[in-house]
Structure formats: structure tokens, C-alpha cells
Amino acid sequence: MPLRKDIHKVMVLGSGPIVIGQAAEFDYAGTQACRALREEGLEVVLVNSNPATIMTDKAMADKVYIEPMTLEAVKEIIKKERPDSLLPNLGGQTGLNLAMDLSADGFLDEYGVKLLGANPETIAKAEDRQMFKDTMESIGEPCIASKVVHTVEDAVAFTEEIGLPVIIRPAYTLGGTGGGIAYTWEQLREIAATGIMYSRVDEILVEKCIAGWKEIEYEVMRDHKGNAITICNMENVDPVGVHTGDSVVVAPSQTLSDKEYQMLRSSALNIITALGIEGGCNVQFALNPNSFEYAVIEVNPRVSRSSALASKATGYPIAKVTAKVAIGYGLDEIINAVTGKTYACFEPTIDYIVAKFPRWPFDKFVYADNSLGTQMKATGEVMSIASCFEAAIMKAVRGVEMKLTSLIMPKLKNWSDEEIKKGVSVVNDERLFVICEALRREIMTIDEIHDITLIDTWFLHGFQNIINMEKELAAAAELTEDLYLRAKKLGFLDRTIEELSGKAVGALKRLPVYKTVDTCAAEFDAETPYYYASFDEENEVKPGTGKKKVLVLGSGPIRIGQGIEFDYCSVHSVWALKDLGCETIIINNNPETVSTDFDTADRLYFEPLTPEDVEGVVNAEKPDAAIVQFGGQTAINLAAHLEKLGVPILGTPAWSIDAAEDREKFDEILEKCHIPRPKGDTVFTEEEAVAVADRLGYPVLVRPSYVLGGQGMEIAYSEQDIREYMQVITRHKVENPVLVDKYMMGREIEVDAICDGEDILIPGIMEHFERAGVHSGDSISMYPPLHIASKHKDTIIRYTRALAKNLAVLGLVNIQFVLYNDEIYIIEVNPRSSRTVPYISKITGVPMIDLATRCMFGEKLRDMEYGTGLYPERDYYAVKVPVFSFQKLRDLDTQLGPEMKSTGEVLGVSRDFGEALFKGLTGAGFSMHKKTGNVVISVRPADKQEAIPIAEKFEKLGYELYATRGTANTLNRAMVATNAVYNAFEPDKHPNILDMIENGEVDYVLSTSVKGRHPELASVKIRRCATEHAIPCLTAIDTANALLQCLESGMEIPNCEMVDINSI
Amino acid sequence: MKKAYLLLADGTLFEGKAVGYEGSSTGEVVFNTGMAGYQEVLTDPSYYGQTVCMTYPLIGNYGINFEDYESRKSWVSGFIMRELCEYPSNFRCKTTLDAYLKSQKVVGLAGIDTRRLTRILRNSGVMNGIIYTEGFEPDAAAIEQMKQYVVKDAVAAVTVGERVVRPADGEQKYRIALLDFGVKYNIERELCARGCEVTVLPALTDPQDVLSGGYDGIMLSNGPGDPAENTQVVENLKVLIASGIPIFGICLGHQLMALAIGAKTQKMRFGHRGVNHPVKDIDADRTYITSQNHGYAVVGETVDPAIARVRYVNLNDGSVEGLEHIGRPIFTVQYHPEVCPGPMDTSYLFDRFLENIDSHKGGNR
């Protein structure tokens, strides 16, 4: 059946801000879905609070609402737009949950909105634990046996039924306190007893322990006719126990025979059929490695991170097909876009191996708990495609941008054999490398490692093959062609081969050929040029069309500080280039993104963004030019290399990037332009640092040079702080200088500008809510600015123009200023696109990337329709509010500072500033329904005075105030009645601040401290405690003021205007 | 390590490393796109006379076990893969693929650009080739012979010598005569599992003997080679069709039945070999993912609509995937509902066969 006749206007729900576990994959899915729906002539209403997404672009939907993803807000939008259908299964868990809530209270029925793709019963059957179990039981699919019990005797009785080992999970304890795995009856009795003791409700869950079973996933698809197919299956290298988002995953499964493969495939299709899902679905299995026994772990009745991976791994566009199926098409009626001939009703078969490697944030969050388990911690991932497992892993590891080029992790060289052996059993982000080191030192055998880790020996042999090659290279008397080629086929970089062998590659050097990802293992001719590198005979790269070829570098895995916004920029640049008549080429390795969709660029190379990998593509394509300024730091880092390869860089030249980062060069330029900056100096030693700080006066900002994204940056308030900081920094890197700057605690201002070489256009000036000191990515940012006098705006425009000109900016530049004592100072210049480009583009309507790209082709701003200078301010306010994933990262200090910590952002849009702020905070997860309650305040000495008016405001609103002793004294002395409570470092004294938080007596926590980071510090404990109990914890005075402004206004979502961005 | 080569009839030479048995072997080079199931492929008699190239690059990952054989031996002329796994891992693994190839005297070739070979075969159609180990280089005569090679007398080579009876699993409900043109074990297993006692009969068993054997229905198996070559079998089938007994044909069995009703078969360019082929059941408007292995197909236009109609078609290329006879309890499919390897979505066809038998019995009563 083709398109249903009763569908005309469809609402699509996005997934909201990027958080750990819900990242760019839903922008990719939503974007595909919107396009698929509009192709059919349907009117699309999109709701997503995340402004950095491509799906919230004007061109993606007829109506675009960047509004909070809350039940109230979506109801208001439905009332306003009256869609006839709702597509809920492309917006991750957020979208699905919202749809469930909308359906549950009859709202959808009342407004005549049909739920497409899945019905509430289906969703409930998959999401509700008990219903899921019952459903699986009814169709004979095994789940993991488990039972809730209240006594040790019952625990034993149940275990007698299911057999040892079992996992004991106490109910309602934090982080599984009191639980564990019981291998013996004795252990069972002991753990069950402790578990019951720890549980607030004397309750434990006894579950069959399947740790060590293989974790296998199937991506399946079904239409309303009942046609059901598998897109791809995947095998986790880490067995059950590590979240699949934190596992290294390969596709297809490698250690399953056809019997096992088909057994699980049949099960997955049974499940999707029983649940009646129409569209994509993900089924996770645990498979006993020693038998055919299996259990269904989880079913996601929607597209997911895994489906994005499966789409990129096979070339099958799951989200697009899901959207088409939802509006009535059968799988046998949808054309496979890759072949252009066959239909979507087939199972992709691949003739390569795919590896996915997670990107964790522990390089930045050094104090966060880096152990891996059932809570996902990765912020992003990369995918690699290769002809063998070894090469796939090598490509993934170097592509994840953790400064590794092979499986050798340099720091492990200093570990003793004992430490390595111990490390093999510690499940964390580094274990894979520890395992390799154990194999490398030959201190453990594959079987020994398997016994401990339960990682299948097939994978361990793969690692062993890589290590054997490392050794062969190291031992080789001569680097022969045969050896070189074998190393290349296993995925070694020339650089690694040279390092290991000590010999130059020289004339042996070979670059790869490229093979096509075609869904069908070459059985049919593919129309889509989607390529991966292989050291082989035949090159499949199609000749160019004769148009100018432009290479756009993507931004790699999503990480703190480099998120989805750069994908937005890369994709828009590709679109602009196509409009300019160019043939576009993208290199990127992030499977979650729109940029790696096979129909974004004319040619897609799914490859790591390293110099050698890029060289291969350059050799195969011979592009006429390249663009690097849209791919974040990843792409910028490759600028010089591309120039060396003879590829002209379009836009700002490489030297300019260098000048902006090099203090001396930058100072020269500033001097020339007469632009002031906070005074500072470059130092190498602790003593020098102290001397400079004394001269400048505290507080000072200290940071290592040449590191972006605020990494390793701190504010020092005293000599002791400086000394501590220098000791840490010099321990790691001595060769790099450290910058010490006067820290100006003023108002921070940010601009993104487009420069054509002569003129500039500033679409908008942004003002930060938090004062300088909080990383710009973690600040609440508002457009247009509220507190900037026009003389300062003029100064900002003047400075921007001067800087753009002197840095030879052609394209985009991002500049951060601070307004301090009525003067504008410059803090930082980034001659590239930035985090704020998508949101400013959307709110001002200035297509920044398009203009910037056209400037690179010689067009002039004055000839375009948006003029020059500062673009007229709109009569809408847009407030960007950061979103964090603190709950998922244990032991991470939540206090905001110069180091960026947020994973995503939302936008609040309104004609009224207060309303925009309220929407922004609502979208970021602040619930402001409750107007009274308890507030706990514990602030550092520097903040005490400013805490008084805040406390006063809370008091006026009717909140009861609690504070730790010092803060309480200050407040009481200022006549703000406050109850003193004991601090976290006095756990035995009551009432204690931690008790209050744990007992759920607190509504807001305001906590700031001079020191932070270390999880043992009392202030960090307070903030962690609040975070883990989902209590809003404010860590900057200004953020608290923002919240208070909203609370005081008494605003409610139903009273707010829902704004369609397209109508502004 | 020894080298091995594949020389194609068009002169293309692939150099790789020798795996399996050392020697030289001529065959029709075909590719299979399944990502698992190499053990079943190796032992599927339908591959008689063919050198199989697996498009999935990593082969041998789970070794060879004792349960997944589809016949008593391997029939392929040669086996080509990109990488042969030396350290297989699976709880059922009993030996390595390399050891198995050696034991079966299958000449193997690894380490070549299998995708390039596949693309050659896709573009020019299946092609003859000779696969040989270093030291077994073919002379001019051998090369000429290779170019002239055709798979001949294939059914005779693979069929059983004499009848074999396989008891039903559990209670016996049916007695089935299975004409063996190169049967895969799983056809027998599927029937036995449904309460059938299966009598495997040599391909050229006299049709009167079949009809007088007291069987409830006849199963026509898969098998290798050009269907049109089997003129005697086709004649025999005409007798069986006329008898009105329920018949179910798979693959070669399907093609032979088509020939028996006057339709024609033709050689395909590169055939269908894999486990992901979509087949549409026109009656039910449902599409199933099927396991396939065939190089010939029934020409749809040559099927007399008065005798049978095309009920199943391939969604990719529209080729005939199955026939439903008019007024007789007979149906045949080109694909493999018994799978092994492949998706089990169409195993219900065995149930349908038995339902046909039930209603036929009922009608007779």
C-alpha cells in the first residue's frame, strides 16, 4: 500500500539536547525522516529543543519549533498546529516517552492525532519490564530469569530454580550498593543478606548471571504487511556487562555460525512481529558462548544509536525507510537508494568488516570514574570499515582522536608486569590497550586473558596478529615490500611502521584503493559513491564529473567541546558548495552524523581524519581545494598537511590559525590593531608563574598553550593554587609553555562573524549570563545582548573587523570578549566556525555557512542580501542553555569553570527575554512548577556577599533556607534567616547537608567552592550528591540569578507563545 | 607459504596464497554473498563443478563442526576467500576450515581481492577458471580444457547409489519419497522433524516404482548442473505429475518440474547465491528473505498458464521463484526453504506440502 490517504500533516519529535546515550544519531534519523516525509508532499511540524541540529533547519520542515521537549510544550504546539499524525520513533527515548505521555492522558485522541510507526501498547510492551517479560514469555522468547524477593530464603529458593551464579541487585540503593555476583551458595546468602539490609525497602532482585555471554544485536525492520527483515547484526567485543554504547562493536557478528546467526535472527523477527512494530527496531541478545542458549536483553521499538551504526555499516537508510513505512509504504515498495534498482525489502550483505569504537570523556574529566558497566559513559563514537578485523580496529583507534596511532598506549610502558596483569581484569576505557600490552610482553596467554575477560579468543587472536606485526617490524633487518604491504593490510600507518622498524618507508610507500559500500557485496552496481580504503588491487572510485572538486573535512567523534554543531557546519558547507556547482567530497568517521549519510556529499569517504588517511583520499580524488574551517579542531589540525599535499585551502589560511593560537604572534596583531587584552605572560616554571601572578595580581587564569576548548584551564586565587597547578602541568608536559593571564571577572561577549576579505558581517552579538570564568560552552548565552551599550557594540564591531582583516579571515571567525570596567577586552579568537553558529544562523535567519562558503569563492558580502557590519537585531530573544550529563559520570565535579563540561544545549525563543530564559531553562531540564521548598547554599568566600541577594530572593518566594556554617553566618548577619547545617566533611554531625539532599528534602542546591575537581572534597561531594539525586545544583551565582528570575516571574509553559522559527 | 592462483577464462590472473589442498582444479567460478554458512556451502551438492568465491572477507571464523554438513562430502571444485581464519572460535568447532579443505581435497585460494573477482563475475557473468597451487601450473592444454569446461552429468555424480530410508523423528505420520538430485540434508531433516519417514531415492528411479511405493507425497530435491540436461528425469516427472500425487520441488526439482510441463529454463548471467534474496508471494502480497543457490532459472513466459502459474517472483530481478500447478497438489520453489545456510522464514512451505498431502488423502477417502 502506498501513502496513507489520512495523513497530511505530521509532527516529528526530535530527541532534545545531546546527552550521553542520546547524541547526534537522532539528528541523523530525524533529518532523514523529515526529508522522507516531505518527499511525499506531507507537511512536517518539527519539535526539538536542540538548536545545533540540522533537523531544526528552516529547510527541513514546514514548521520548526525549537521549544522545550516537555509534555506541556508539545501539547501547546499540537493545539496550535493541529497535526493529524505524530511520528514518535525517531527522536530517541525522549521522543518515545513524550509520545507515550501524550497518548496516556488521551490528549492525542482528543486532538485527533494518530501515532505512526508504533502504538502505545507496542511501546509499553517493549519498555515496561513486566509487560516485556510477559510478552516474551507468550511468544516463547527467553528473557533473563529474575525475581524480586525479600528474604534470604526466597533468594536461595529462586536460585535453586535458575542455578548459580546469580546477580543480586538491591532495590533503591545508589549505584548498586550492597549488590554483587554470587558464585557459591555461601556468597549468595551473604550478598543477599547485605543487599536486603542496604535496601530501603528490604528488597532485592535475584537475576541469573549472564556476565560473559556474548552480546549480539540485531537491527530489524517491519512493515504493516508483515514483511520483516534484518538490516545488520553486530557483535560486541566486550561480553555482556559493558553497556553496548561503551563496547567495541563489530558488524557483522564474527564468531557465530549460520545456525546461531539464524536462530537469533528468527528470534528478533518473532519479537518485532509480536510487538507489531512498523519501522526499525533494535533487539539485544545475550548468547551463551558454550551452547545455543540465549536471552533477550532489551528491545528498543524505535531507531537508536545502533540503527545509525547499522545504517552506516551497511548503507541501508533505516530512519528513512522507517519514516516511509510509518506513512503506509510496504518495504517492497521502497526503492533501495544505494543500488537504485533493488527494493528496501532485502537484507544487506556486506563484504568488509565494520568496527565501532567509543569516545570517552576521561581525557578531560580525569577525576571521573572511568570504569565501564551498565551505565553508558561515552559521549560519541567512530566507525571504521576495513577488509579485516585488525585493520578495522587500527583505523577505529586512530580515528577516535585519543592521540593513539596503533594499539600501543605509550603510558603503559611504565607499568610493571604486575600492574598490567591486574589491569586486565579492570573493566575501563583503557583495558583493551592493557590486554594488548599483556600480549605484547608475553606475560599472559590468549587463553588466560580470555578466562579473565571472557572476550572471545577470536578477537584476542586479532589483537595478537597486530602485535605480531609490531614485533616483526621491530625485528626486521630490512623493510621489504612484502612486509610493508602486510603491515598496511593490517592497518598500520606509515608513521607507525617507521617508528617500529626504525626504517624509512621511502619508495615502498603505497596509498590505498577505495571500495564501495553498496549493501549487496557487489552483486549489484551501486549508484552511491560511498567508499572505504583498502590495500588492494582494484580501485572503484568513479571519475569526476568535471566540476570543481572540493573536499570538506568532518569533525570526527562527538566529544566535550566538539559536538554536533560542527557537523551542522560541515553539512551546510557541502550544500552551499553544491549550489556553487562544485562536486563535494566528505571525509568523516562518525556514524551518528548527517555528514556521513551517503547522500549528503557527492562522495563520502568513511575514513579516520589523520594525515595519512586524508592523503589517501586526496590521492584518489585529486580535489581542487579543501575546506577545513567547519570541521572543528579535528579539521583545522589537518590544514597544514593538506597544504603540503598541494591542496589549496579555501578560506582563512593555515598561518592565520597558527597566529591566533600563538601568543606572541597574536599579541603583535593585537598591538597593531590597538586592541587590549587581559595582561599576561608565558612561563615555563613554577617560580616564573608565581612571579607573573604576583605582578598581575590575583586572580589569574592559568592554562597550557596550544590547547583549545578550555582544556587544563584554571583560575588561581592564590600562590598556593598556582604552585599546585604548575606541579600538575609540568608533571605531564614540560616542553609546552603555560600562559598566565589576569583574570577579569567581567561580562563575557561572543561574536561569530563572516568575513569576505574586506568586509565583515556579524549576524548577532551574544552576551553570556555567567561572568567570565565559566567556559563559553557552559554559559547561558543570550541574543540579542541585554547589557551592552551601543558604544561597546561599536567597539566590538571595530575590533572584529580589524582582527578579521589582520588575521586574513576568509569565512568564519569566532571572537570572545570581556566587558570589564567599561572597557572591551579580547579573550580569544578562533578563525573557524564555532559552537554558536547553528543557533545564531537560525535565530537571525542569516545562513552563515552558506555566506561564508560563498565568500571563499570570491563573492562579496556587500553583493549579498544580508549586508555588512552588525546585522539588525531581531525582535526575538534566544537564550541558549547548556545541558550536562553529570548523572552518568560518577565522581565528576559539577562546578562550572574554565573547562567545558556540557554535552549539549537547548534554546529558548521568545519575544520576551524572561520567557526565552524560562523556556531555555525548562528545556534544559529545570522544573519550575514548585514555587516553594528548601534551598541549600554553600558558597566560597568570594561569593558570600553575592549570595545574600540570592538568598533573599529565595526567601521572598517562600523558600526555607539552609546553609553550611560560614554561609549561614553571612546570611544571618545580613538578616536573611538561614538554618545552619553541617557540612559534608562532618558526616557524623546532624543535620547534615548530605542527609538533607539524600532524603529528598532539598529543591535547589547552590554550591561554589574555591577548589573542586577532586571527588574527596566536601564541596564536590555535595554537588555529586545533588546530581545523583536529580536535584538541580547551581554552581555559579549568575546561573542562580537566572533561575530566580524565572521563579519570580511565575511563568508557566501554557502561557508562553510557541514560536515557529520559520515564521520569524 | 605457497602461492596459489586463479586463472579465469578471460585471462585474468589472481595471485594469492595456497590454502586447503594443494593441486589444480577447474570449475565454473561463482560467488556467494552469505556472511556465514561456509560449511553448508562447501557440502551443498548443488555446487558440484563450481569454484565458489565467498564475498564476505573473513571465512573460517567458527571452524568446522560435525553438525552442519549438508551432505556426506564437499562438492566444490575450488574455494576462494579473502582471508582464512587460522584460529577459529566457537563451542562446536572441531577442526579448522583449512584442515577440512585438505581432507576433502579442495584446492583453496586466499588473500586475493575477492571483491574485484566478484565484480568481474557480476559484469561478465559466471566464468570458467582454474585454481592451482604453486607447482601445479596448468599447461596450454589444461587452459584450453578449462575454457571448454561445462558442468556435465552433475546429477548422476551426486545422487545416492541406492535408496536410503530415514525414519521420522517421533511418531511417523507420513511417508515421503525424496528424489535425490543432490539433496541437502536439511530437506530430509525438515521432513523428518514433521513426522515424515523419508525414503531417499536415486535420481533415475523408475516413476512406477515411486508411485507403487505407497508414499504420501514426493519431494524433489535441489541439485547441480543444467536442468535441461536431465531429459530422462523430466520424462519420469511427467508420469509422476499425471498421477496426481502431491509433489513439492525445490531448486533443481522446481526447474525439472517446469521442464516437465513444457516450460523452458535458461542460464542466468551470474545466478543467485546467497541468503538475502527477497521473494514475493504474489497471492499473499508478502515478501520473504530466502536462501538461494542457482545458476539457471525458469523462463516465465514459457510456463503454460493452463498448467501452472508463477506465484513467487524475485523482487530484485523479477525472475521466476516458484510455480503453483493448476488443479493439482503440486508447487515448486526456486529458493531453499530448508535453508542451511540462510533465513528460516519460508520453512512453512514444508507444512504446506504436508497440508497438501492431508487434503489429498482426505479427497481420496
Tell the CATH topology of A513-645: Rossmann fold (3.40.50)
Cell 535458575 found at:
A162
Q: Which residue of B has its CA nearest to A265?
A: B343
What local confidence, expressed as pLDDT, does residue A710 receive?
45
Interface check for B94 against chain A (CB to CB < 8 A): the answer is: no
Range list of β-strands (E), A591-650: 603-606, 625-627
Stretch 318-347 of chain A: residues touching chain B, C-beta under 8 Å:
330-332, 341-343, 345-347
Q: Quote the ipTM score.
A: 0.98
Rounded to a whole number, what is the distance in Å from the CA of B112 to chain A's nearest CA? Answer: 8
Catalytic residue among B53, B192, B196, B251: B251
What local confidence, expressed as pLDDT, does residue A707 receive?
54
CATH number of A129-139+211-348: 3.30.470.20
C-alpha to C-alpha distance for A693 and A702, rounded to whole angstroms? 9
Alpha-carbon separation of residue A614 from A602, A608, A641, A722, B234 (angstroms): 17, 8, 9, 41, 60
Rounded to a whole number, what is the distance in Å from the CA of B267 to chain A's nearest CA? Answer: 17
Q: List chain B pLDDT tens, one digit each, 365 residues.
A: 899 999 999 999 999 999 999 999 999 999 999 999 999 999 999 999 999 999 999 999 999 999 999 999 999 999 999 999 999 999 999 999 999 999 999 999 999 999 999 999 999 999 999 999 999 999 999 999 999 999 999 999 999 999 999 999 999 999 999 999 999 999 999 999 999 999 999 999 999 999 999 999 999 999 999 999 999 999 999 999 999 999 999 999 999 999 999 999 999 999 999 999 999 999 999 999 999 999 999 999 999 999 999 999 999 999 999 999 999 999 999 999 999 999 999 999 999 999 999 999 886 54
What local confidence, expressed as pLDDT, does residue A174 receive?
54
CATH class of A679-742: alpha beta
Q: What amino acid occupies position A817? A: F
C-alpha cell at A747: 561580562
- Is A258 close to B36, i.e. CB distance below 8 A? yes
Residues of chain A under the 70 pLDDT cut: 1, 172-177, 705-711, 730-736
C-alpha to C-alpha distance for B325 and B192, rounded to whole angstroms? 25
Tell the CATH topology of B3-151: Glucose Oxidase; domain 1 (3.50.30)
What local confidence, expressed as pLDDT, does residue B271 receive?
96
Interface check for A255 against chain B (CB to CB < 8 A): the answer is: yes
- The ranges assigned to domains in chain A are 9-116, 129-139+211-348, 146-208, 357-508, 513-645, 679-742, 747-874, 904-1054
Identify the residue among A213, A351, A353, A514 best suited for mutation to test binding to B, counting B beta carbons within 10 A and taking the highest.
A351
Q: Transcribe A808-849 into DSSP letters.
A: T--EEEEEEEEEETTEEEEEEEESS--TTHHHHHHHH---HH
CATH number of A146-208: 3.30.1490.20
Residues of A in contact with B57 (CB under 8 A): 351-353, 387-388
Range list of β-strands (E), A884-1034: 904-910, 934-938, 960-964, 979-981, 1004-1007, 1033-1034
Nearest Cβ partner for B57 among A352, A537, A538: A352
Tell the CATH topology of B155-364: Rossmann fold (3.40.50)
C-alpha cell at A175: 549505584
Interface check for A265 against chain B (CB to CB < 8 A): the answer is: yes
Q: Which of A834, A824, A827 is nearest to A762 (CA)?
A: A834
Alpha helices in chain B (DSSP H): 38-43, 97-103, 114-124, 140-148, 154-158, 185-193, 207-211, 231-243, 252-260, 348-364
Torsion angle of alpha carbons B201, B206, B211, B213, nearest 10°?
-50
> The domain A904-1054 is classified under which CATH number: 1.20.1090.10, 3.40.50.880, 3.40.50.1380, 3.40.30.10?
3.40.50.1380
- Is A227 close to B286, i.e. CB distance below 8 A? yes
Q: Residues with Cβ < 8 Å from A677, sequence gap 6 or more? A: A667, A670, A741, A825, A826, A827
Instruction: Give catalytic status of residue B336 as yes or no.
Output: yes
Interface check for B269 against chain A (CB to CB < 8 A): the answer is: no
Specify the 3-state DSSP secondary structure of A567.
helix
Specify the 3-state DSSP secondary structure of A863.
helix
Q: Which residue of A has its CA nearest to B14?
A: A537
- Is A458 close to B55, i.e. CB distance below 8 A? no
Cell 498448467 found at:
B307
C-alpha cell at A958: 517562600
Identify the residue among A259, A454, A458 best suited for mutation to test binding to B, counting B beta carbons within 10 A and taking the highest.
A259
Identify the residue among B112, B115, B275 best suited for mutation to test binding to A, counting A beta carbons within 10 A and taking the highest.
B115
Q: Residues with Cβ < 8 Å from A70, sequence gap 6 or more? A: A98, A922, A923, A1053
C-alpha to C-alpha distance for A635 and A629, rounded to whole angstroms? 7
Nearest Cβ partner for A258 among B33, B40, B82: B40
Interface check for A352 against chain B (CB to CB < 8 A): the answer is: yes
Average pLDDT for chain B: 97
C-alpha to C-alpha distance for A856 and A756, rounded to whole angstroms? 7
- Is A522 close to B55, i.e. CB distance below 8 A? yes
Interface check for B135 against chain A (CB to CB < 8 A): the answer is: no
Interface check for A467 against chain B (CB to CB < 8 A): the answer is: no
CATH number of A357-508: 1.10.1030.10
C-alpha to C-alpha distance for A920 and A908, rounded to whole angstroms? 4
Question: Which phi and psi angles does A418 have, rounded to 5°?
Answer: -65, -45
C-alpha to C-alpha distance for A535 and B243, rounded to whole angstroms? 60
Helix (H) or strand (E) holding A481, with range, is: helix A481-489
CATH class of A747-874: alpha beta
- Is B35 close to A349, i.e. CB distance below 8 A? yes
Q: Which of A714, A723, A713, A780 is nearest to A748 (CA)?
A: A780
What local confidence, expressed as pLDDT, does residue A663 receive?
81
**Is-cis flag, bond preceding A784, omega within 30?**
yes
C-alpha to C-alpha distance for A494 and A280, rounded to whole angstroms? 41
Q: Which residue of B has its CA nearest to A226?
A: B286
- The ranges assigned to domains in chain B are 3-151, 155-364
Instruction: Indicate if A747-874 has the same CATH topology as A146-208.
Output: no
What local confidence, expressed as pLDDT, does residue A202 receive?
84
C-alpha to C-alpha distance for A645 and B316, rounded to whole angstroms? 44
Stretch 203-242 of chain B: residues touching chain A, C-beta under 8 Å:
none
Bridge partners, B118 (sequence order) = none
Longest dimension (CA), chain A: 83
What local confidence, expressed as pLDDT, does residue A173 receive?
63
Rounded to a whole number, what is the distance in Å from the CA of A257 to chain B's nearest CA? Answer: 6
C-alpha to C-alpha distance for B305 and B214, rounded to whole angstroms? 31
